[in-house]
């Protein structure tokens, strides 16, 4: 049974290394996920700016088309007003009123177009700035992601080596003892603990003297009567 205890201790040492590697792998994967989220956030911001810029350009084009239509109507009205064809003072007043209204509409549209042009210009600058930022940061993030992926691959390779070694040891341990060890691992980090005097170093409770003597004499596999761990 001393060989079995020795193999359990070897297995536990490997399990500790595996746990540490798995934690490192998990950490690297989370870091990689955060980097991808940051890259996606930057790209989403750029896309949002593009939509805003497209919308502003469309609004400007509509205003310019509306202004063109108003200018044509204004020119037609002006031509009619000064053609000499209108003889009635009442009709003349109506045409003058229409022309004044068109002039006001034209002035208003011109001001709106200037504002829209300024908005488009500002959005264009912001879009270019954000595009440069996304390119620069995106390249850096891509490099960082590649580093994380390489680190993960290295850690997983190390884990695979340990797993192979772990599997080799399991073949040397009786199935019922291996099953019990695995159950203990679900509850405790260490399934095999030392005995200091008559105190289990897993649960820190005293064990009967007869148990302590059995451990010291290496009389087979001895378990703590309190927590169930293997004692060594």
Model pLDDT for residues 132-175, shown as the tens digit of each residue:
999 999 999 999 999 999 999 999 999 999 999 999 999 999 99
- In the predicted structure, residue 43 carries a pLDDT above the cut 90: yes
Per the model's pLDDT, the better-predicted residue between 203 and 88 turns out to be 203
Q: Which of 151, 159, 199 is nearest to 16 (CA)?
A: 159
Model pLDDT for residues 112-142, shown as the tens digit of each residue:
999 999 999 999 999 999 999 999 999 999 9
Q: Give kind and range of the element (H or E) at residue 117.
A: helix 89-170
- In the predicted structure, residue 1 carries a pLDDT above the cut 70: no
Q: Are 200 and 224 in contact (CB under 8 A)?
A: yes
- In the predicted structure, residue 229 carries a pLDDT above the cut 70: yes
How is domain 11-173 classified at the architecture level of CATH?
Answer: Orthogonal Bundle (1.10)
Q: Are 221 and 213 in contact (CB under 8 A)?
A: no
Domain residue ranges of the chain, discontinuous segments joined by +: 11-173, 174-232
76 contact partners, CB below 8 Å, separation of at least 6? none
Per the model's pLDDT, the better-predicted residue between 91 and 42 turns out to be 42
Q: Are 28 and 148 in contact (CB under 8 A)?
A: yes
- Give, in order, the Cα–Cα distances in Å from 103 to each of 82, 100, 109, 133: 16, 5, 10, 45
Residue 198, Cβ density class (10 Å: 0-12 exposed, 13-18 middle, ≥19 buried): middle
The DSSP letter of residue 86 is: -
Model pLDDT for residues 101-110, shown as the tens digit of each residue:
999 999 999 9
Look at residue 192 and give its three-state secondary structure: strand
pLDDT of residue 83: 82
What span, in angstroms and rounded, lies between the C-alpha atoms of 186 and 96? Answer: 93
Contacts 24+ apart (CB under 8 A), 179-182: 181/8, 181/11, 181/230
Place of tokens 């040397």: 172
204 contact partners, CB below 8 Å, separation of at least 6? none
Model confidence, pTM: 0.76
């Amino acid at each position: 049974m001393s060989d079995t205890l020795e193999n359990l201790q070897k297995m536990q040492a490997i399990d500790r290394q595996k746990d540490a590697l798995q934690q490192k792998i998990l950490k690297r994967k989370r870091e990689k996920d955060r980097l991808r989220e940051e890259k996606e956030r930057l790209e989403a911001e750029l896309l949002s700016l593009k939509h805003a810029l497209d919308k502003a350009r469309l609004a400007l084009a509509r205003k310019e088309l509306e202004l063109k239509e108003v200018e044509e109507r204004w020119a037609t009205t002006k031509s009619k007003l000064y053609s000499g064809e209108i003889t009635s003072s009442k009709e003349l007043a109506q045409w003058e009123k229409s022309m004044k209204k068109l002039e006001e509409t034209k002035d208003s549209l011109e001001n709106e177009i200037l504002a829209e042009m300024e908005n488009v210009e500002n959005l264009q600058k912001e879009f270019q700035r954000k595009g440069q930022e996304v390119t620069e940061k995106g390249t850096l993030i891509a490099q960082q992601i590649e580093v994380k992926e390489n680190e993960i691959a290295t850690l997983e390779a190390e884990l695979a080596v340990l797993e192979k070694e772990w599997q080799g040891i399991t073949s040397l341990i009786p199935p019922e003892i291996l099953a019990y060890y695995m159950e203990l691992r679900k509850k405790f980090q260490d399934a095999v603990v030392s005995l200091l005097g008559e105190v289990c170093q897993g649960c820190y409770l005293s064990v009967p003297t007869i148990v302590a003597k059995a451990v010291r004499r290496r009389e087979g596999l001895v378990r703590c009567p309190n927590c169930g761990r293997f004692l060594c």
